[in-house]
Every structure is written in C-alpha cells, then in structure tokens.
Amino acid sequence: MKQPRGRAVLALSLALLLSLLLVFALGCLAPTPITNPTTSPAPTATAPPRNIILIGWDGAQRNHVKESLSRGELPNLKKLSSEGALVAIDIYRVTDTKAGWTQILTGYEPEVTGVFSNGRYQPIPRGYTVFERLEEFFGARDFVTAAVIGKKANLGADPGEPYYNTKNGMDVFINGLNDDEKVGSKALELLEQYKDKPFFFFIHFAEVDARGHAFGENSKEYDDTLISADGWTGNIVQKLKELNLYDKTLIYITADHGFDEGLQSHTDAPYVFLATNDPMVVRRGQRADITPTILDRFGLDLSKIEPPLDGHPLTRPYEAPRW
C-alpha cells in the first residue's frame, strides 16, 4: 500500500522540478529589455570638449522661439537641442544688451564688472571674461579665442567701453558687422583658419534684436530673422562637420534678453533660453550661469577662480551660495 504512494510523491516532485527548470530556461531566452533613451539618466561625466562655440541670438524671446520651433521654422535649433538640452534662462537684472552679454561672458553680477546697463557701465576688469580665463588656462599659443559680433555700440571695445580691456587678450575681436550674413561668413572663415587649434568662439547675430525694435516682436520681420539666425547656426554646424570637428565641439545658443510681448522694446523681457548639444546640461538657470558652464566643461577648477563666480554650472544641480 505504501509503494504506490511513494511513486506518486516521486512523480510529483519530478514534475515540479521540470516545471521550475522550464521557467528558468524560458527566462533565459526572454529578450533583454531596451532602455528608453529619453528616460535614461544623463552621463555623470564625459571628456572635456576640444572646442566650444557660444552663439548669440540677440533679443530672441523665449516664447517666440517656442512658437517658431512648433511651426518647424528652426530645424537646426531643434536638431542641436535634441542631442543635448533646451532649457529656460531667466533674467533677474536689467534686460538690455550691455548688461546681458557682460553677465553671459563673465559669470558675474554687475557689482563685480561695473556693467549695470546700456547707460551705466565701465570696462570689464582685466582677466574677468571667459576669453581671458581660457587664454590663461590653456596658454595663448595653444588655444584660440575669437569674437565675431554683429553689434558695435553695446558690445564695444573703445576706451571706456565694456570690452576695452578684453580685446587685447584675445586672438580675434571683431564687432559692428551688423548683418547676420557678414557675421556668419566671417565666422566660417575663422573656423577654417583656426581649425588646427582648440578654440572658443563667440558668434553674435544681431538682426533679431534690430528687427524687433524696428517692427515689433510679433512681426513677420522678427520671425524671419529668427529663421536667419537658425540658418546660420546650421551653416556653422555643417562647417564643423566638414572640418571633422563637430564631434569634438560643444555649441551653446542663448540670448541676452527677450522682447516685450508684441512691442518694439525689451524694458521688461526676462525670458530667454539655452539650446545646446551638450548632454551634461541638466537644469535651467540665469545668464551668469553660462560662463561657469563653459569653464567647467573645459576642465577649469571653478573653486580657484578669483573673485568667485556669481553663476553656477548648468551641468550640475544648483547649490545655493553660503552666507
């Protein structure tokens, strides 16, 4: 009577064992899930770039840029930011050109630089701009700094103007070109000229701001100049690819101020943006955060910079200053 029961128990045990083995085998054969790249965490570290280009769309209002993107009018901005990030930049000080680009190109508030507005300014202290920091860090013989600028009056280098001390510490400083075509063509020429050295370029397109003042923020002319700036941005990217430099170059696109909604002024226009192919950018910020981001990505130790920068790298979570 006991033998059949023992056989039944043995059979049941074997069946259970076979079931477990089958489940294990099927699990091993199941495909490995593919991580969704849109939800993957950004890399915690990456090699410093060989080159960085900062492109200015002077006067590009954030909401208007969003609208143009949604209509498919800015394909180069869209493509670039799809490789990195598109974040908001908010302005907490005066929304004009002198103050704006000084904050962007130094990482300091006006109490440090002395550039408070278009009407209240002085030469930026020697050595305080991103150009001079990089020249000092890499060495003037081994690194190229260049600025190709549409405006003259508010990005001036004559005695008493903001970049009077800066221009002599750079390889190239050209301003007052006005037209996007002249700025873009000169920038392409200089990229070809300096392709064999690491570089930092500032390329400033002024027509968005000019058309905003002439025709208003909601005008067709304002739209057209955003499209023009995007087209020249695409030409710069294409040139880098032809020179086999694109994969070694980070590009940041930003604006010094926006425009008052529907008006021809930017009295209170604090909403701009940063678009980049840099996957390390993780947050929104302010104008003074852009130079710290560039210096940090090039490998400078920000803790050793004097006076301490007011901005913080957009590649790191924000840490409030300690009082």
For residue range 122-133, what is the model confidence (pLDDT) as tens digits? 999 999 999 999
Q: Would you say how long the chain is, in residues?
A: 323
Are the C-beta atoms of residues 211 and 227 closer than 8 Å to each other?
A: no
The structural domains of the chain, ordered by start, are 51-304 (3.40.720.10)
**Amino acid (1-letter code) at residue 166:** T
pLDDT band at 271 (very low <50, low <70, confident <90, very high): very high
Tell me the whole-structure pTM to 2 decimals: 0.85
Annotate 176-189 with three-state secondary structure.
Answer: CCCCHHHHHHHHHH
Task: Give me the residues paired with residue 86 across strands.
Answer: 275
Position 69 confidence tier, pLDDT thresholds 50, 70, 90: very high
Q: What is the mean pLDDT of residues 267-296?
A: 97
Band of pLDDT at residue 321, cut at 50, 70 and 90 = low
- What radius of gyration do the chain's Cα atoms show? 26
Q: How far is CA 312 from CA 93, 245, 304, 308, 309, in A?
A: 16, 27, 14, 10, 7
Average pLDDT, the chain: 89
Structural contact between residues 61 and 153, judged by C-beta atoms closer than 8 angstroms? no
